[in-house]
Amino acid sequence: GAVVSQHPSRVICKSGTSVKIECRSLDFQATTMFWYRQFPKKSLMLMATSNEGSKATYEQGVEKDKFLINHASLTLSTLTVTSAHPEDSSFYICSASRTGSSNQPQHFGDGTRLSIL
Amino acid sequence: AQSVAQPEDQVNVAEGNPLTVKCTYSVSGNPYLFWYVQYPNRGLQFLLKYITGDNLVKGSYGFEAEFNKSQTSFHLKKPSALVSDSALYFCAVSTSGTYKYIFGTGTRLKVLA
């Protein structure tokens, strides 16, 4: 099946630092990737839709200057949490959709546990 | 407004018994429906989908789901539960031309030995 690789799986860093998370589709091209945030025992909150070669589309209430998204190729999207603070600690998950197939399932990475001290 | 409801936060079932995890939806247009499973500290794994055609959809690990248009439901089922099925289950819906999912709030399934 389709594989999406997310790296790193866990990050612990000091308040004020920036953290970059990578999401790669390993065996298919992904025009569209998604970034989610999941709070403990809660559902996934869509943060933004990442479109290859264009600006990301952010959901209401998500700070675009705080959560920088880059989708420079059909297989890689990155999320950078800038000047991270303890309230940014969370589980971040990416997913990817095959190009041109809105009826195909999204394939998810294994998530990144971000802990800001 | 489009929405997905998973009315049960948790479902408990004895090993070997059938299980059902409920999902209802409200969307404009024809829905594309998906079920995913999440194990602790992991991403979501795709189980099955309904796009069109036969209302009974079979998926991974012995799971199946029935699309019911009149009741706007897409309940997940398995004839005989395993302890290893214990996890968090999410229902999601999208529509033609949109890649975004609307997720349900998740149902924690606990299978008791």
pLDDT (mean) for B23-52: 93
pLDDT (mean) for A100-115: 87
What was the pLDDT predicted at A52?
Answer: 84
The torsion angle over the Cα atoms of residues B74, B79, B81 and B82, rounded to 10 degrees, is -120
Residue B32: pLDDT over 90: yes
Q: Does A25 touch chain B (CB under 8 A)?
A: no
Contact A43 B32 (CB under 8 A): no
A46 to chain B: which residues are within 8 Å by CB?
A: 100-101
What was the pLDDT predicted at B21?
Answer: 98
Instruction: Work out the percent of chain A whose per-residue pLDDT is above 70.
Output: 96
What was the pLDDT predicted at A42?
Answer: 77
Q: Does A62 touch chain B (CB under 8 A)?
A: no
pLDDT in tens, A27-78: 888 888 999 999 887 788 999 998 888 889 999 999 999 999 998 888 999 9
CB A91 within 8 A of CB A113: yes
pLDDT band at B16; cut points 50, 70, 90: very high
CA distance A29 to A5: 13
CA distance A115 to A14: 9
What was the pLDDT predicted at B99?
Answer: 80
> Out of A32, A42, A110, whose CB is closest to B43?
A110
pLDDT band at B50; cut points 50, 70, 90: very high
Long-range Cβ contacts of B2-6 (<8 Å, 24+ apart)? B2/B26, B2/B27, B2/B28, B2/B93, B2/B95, B2/B102, B3/B102, B4/B91, B4/B92, B4/B93, B4/B102, B4/B103, B4/B104, B5/B104, B5/B105, B6/B89, B6/B90, B6/B91, B6/B104, B6/B105, B6/B106, B6/B107
A19 to chain B, minimum CA–CA distance in Å? 19
Residue A1: pLDDT over 80: no
Q: Which of residues 80-99 of A touch B (CB under 8 A)?
A: 91, 93, 95, 97
What was the pLDDT predicted at B1?
Answer: 76
Q: Which residue of A has its CA nearest to B43?
A: A110
pLDDT (mean) for B57-84: 97
Q: Does A54 touch chain B (CB under 8 A)?
A: no
Q: Does A55 touch chain B (CB under 8 A)?
A: no
A105 to chain B: which residues are within 8 Å by CB?
A: 34, 46, 49
Tell me which residues of chain B have a C-beta less than 8 Å from any C-beta of chain A.
32, 34, 36, 41-46, 49, 51, 90, 94-101, 103-106
Dihedral sign (CA A26, A28, A29, A30)? negative
What was the pLDDT predicted at A99?
Answer: 67
Closest of A79, A80, A46 to residue A62, by C-alpha: A46
CB A44 within 8 A of CB A37: yes
Contact A102 B42 (CB under 8 A): no
Higher-pLDDT residue of A104, A9: A9
A42 to chain B: which residues are within 8 Å by CB?
A: 105-106
